[in-house]
Copies of this chain bind each other. A is one copy, B any other.
Amino acid sequence: MKVIIVGGVAGGASCAARLRRLDEKAEILMVERGPYVSYANCGLPYHVSGVIEKESSLLVSNEATFREQFAIDVRTNCEVVGISAAKKTVELKDHKTGKVTTESYDKLVLSPGAAPIRPNIPGFDLPGIFTLRTVPDTRAIRAWLARNDLPGMDTYGGYQTATKAKRAVVIGGGFIGLEMVENLVHLGLEVTLIEKMNQVMPPLDPEIALLVKRRIEEHKVRVELNDGVAGFKQAANGSLEVLTESGKVHPADIVISAIGVRPEIDLAKMAGIEIGERGGIRVDEQMRTSNPDIFAVGDAVEVKDFVTGQWSLIPLAGPANRQGRIAADVIAGRKSRFRGTQGTSICLVFGAAVASTGVSEKQLIKIGDKDYEKIYLFPNSHAGYYPGAKMLAIKVLFRKSNGRLLGAQVLGDDGVKARVDSIAMAIQLGGTVYDLEESELSYAPPFGSAKDPVNFAGMMAANVLRGDMPVAHWDSVGNAFLLDVRNPPELAVEHVAGAVNIPLPELRARLGELPRDREILVICRSAQRAYYATRILLQNGFKVRNISGGMLSRSMLAAK
């Protein structure tokens, strides 16, 4: 059996190595258009700033290792320029020699990835405007940053992190955009982030993304939302000008365009295989394309969203690696299948982390799914009495009808991964909010709380579903009666216009002051005391709901 694997990074490299482990006899040829195989593309932004000091650190494996350890024929700088699905052949162009050869295959695996979108905007090809996908891209950005017109400083100095560039514009507030913002700030640049949407970090809901934006802004980054780039110009002094749709002009010594990626489907088109509704290669759960001898994996394919069952484009390294393994399994005659993607992700944001798993509320709204409820909570990352506890912001989405977990978003300075991973695992296994309520997670004061934030989330959501804590949200307060149960000194700091204040300890004695003919919405700082008040009022016959997240979630309102 001869297998040709096109693309030697995440999915392709995983597939090749796995296939060799399963089949010593298979002839395996892995071709990669670029100069490197199996490099750490997730690390590229951090090499731009020198946080990852050496370029060689990014080269996780190499041709020699694939040859020697796996007996895999690897060809870099080698591009597929033709595929005949009928003859089961590919034409390979060696970019070093220019020579084109034809290779036959029994099975073909496409792992071409997704390419940065290059918008059709005037001036996009000007020098100083970059996208980031490969090691050579990183090298070019570093060289540009080190470039200057002073005599004797015109060469790029190895692992130097100093830069003569002063102002950077990053276009696009997704993962790569945010990582580039942070690394450019790290280099000392003044950074402007321009994002066409009303939020950064598209997988998040806008109110959580607002918290991310605030974090970024704390580091003096100018964030321009709701504005697209209209064009680029070279200014008189040689620097760039970024012109936006709203008419603004942002001067820049360097521009990073990170407005998203698009599946590379040229090869798939050549092979005549099916492209899906989202523009990616369509595969079944065994990573087989519409042609049974052609498989596809990684950022180029559409995957089923694990929670919604919808076709999605989710370019993440974890799923790409698993898909590569699964394609190898299937080629080797096994029955492995891909379970779909939860979109679990995490991103460093100036020392904090923001993470999500499962669906967002905006996705649910988009698909018209109304069988969900949400809660917000702001627990400490670990026991409040142990030094260093930091507030987490957590949003959890769950099925109203049965409590099944749908998604979670977590932001904070500490302990974010533990919480999102626990919930990701619960989602994968079909868990409910009741499972979170009863889950037994590790606790000692430096690491968590006896009731972990994940337990708290489960308890709150379960309280909602059991009817113990009817819940309301700031975006649908209407003209309900607002009851604030905080203590007067807290109100002095910030209060809600029109809310009546009865501190919780006085509530039982002052029930007569509350209306019986109107719905009461209860407020406190974090919604905990408001929950206690809700219980008191419910049992005394009032119609009442607790505003999830209290004053803390109110601060996210501006995102709406």
Residue numbers of A with Cβ under 8 A of B are 10, 20-25, 40, 42-43, 46, 51-53, 57-58, 60, 68-71, 175, 179, 306, 316-322, 339, 341-348, 353, 355, 357, 383, 385-387, 415-418, 420-422, 424-426, 428-431, 435, 438-448, 450-452, 454-455, 468, 504-505, 508, 529, 531-532, 535-536, 539-540
Contact = CB atoms under 8 A, between A and B. Distances in A.
A298 to B, nearest CB: 11
Contact of A346 (B25, B447, B540): B447
Contact of A40 (B317, B355, B385, B504): B385
Given A348-B446, A426-B429, A318 B451 contact: yes
B385 A442 contact: no
A1 to B, nearest CB: 14
Contacts of A22: 468, 535
Contacts of A339: 438
Nearest to A175: B444
Given A347-B444, A385-B60, A21 B468 contact: yes
18 contacts: A23-B539, A24-B536, A24-B539, A40-B445, A43-B445, A60-B385, A317-B450, A318-B440, A318-B455, A339-B438, A342-B440, A344-B441, A345-B443, A417-B442, A418-B421, A421-B421, A425-B426, A425-B429
Contact of A529 (B69, B421, B504): B69
Contacts of A468: 21-22
Given A346-B443, A424-B440, 13 more contacts: A43-B383, A43-B445, A68-B505, A318-B440, A318-B443, A343-B440, A345-B443, A417-B418, A421-B422, A421-B441, A428-B438, A428-B440, A429-B435
Contact of A508 (B71, B344, B454): B71
Contacts of A10: 450
A487 to B, nearest CB: 11
Please give the count of copies of this chain that the complex contains. Answer: 2
Most B-side CB within 10 Å, residue of A53, A415, A439, A535: A439
A421 B442 contact: yes
Contacts of A70: 532
Given A69-B532, A442-B355, A532-B69, A447 B60 contact: no
A42 B383 contact: yes
A-B pairs with the 9 shortest C-beta distances?
A68-B505, A346-B442, A317-B450, A418-B418, A429-B429, A24-B539, A57-B385, A425-B425, A21-B535
Contacts of A57: 385
Contact of A504 (B69, B319, B387, B425): B69
Nearest to A44: B445
A442 B428 contact: no
A442 B424 contact: yes
A385 B52 contact: yes
Contacts of A321: 450-451
The residue in A416, A429, A431, A540 that gathers the most chain B C-beta atoms within 10 A of its C-beta is A429
Contact of A24 (B53, B439, B535): B535
Contact of A442 (B420, B447, B531): B420
A387 to B, nearest CB: 7
A344 B442 CA distance: 5
Given A68-B505, A451-B321, A445 B46 contact: yes
Given A345-B442, A444-B348, A445-B46, A387 B51 contact: yes
Contact of A435 (B316, B322, B428): B428
Nearest to A437: B322
A440 B60 contact: no
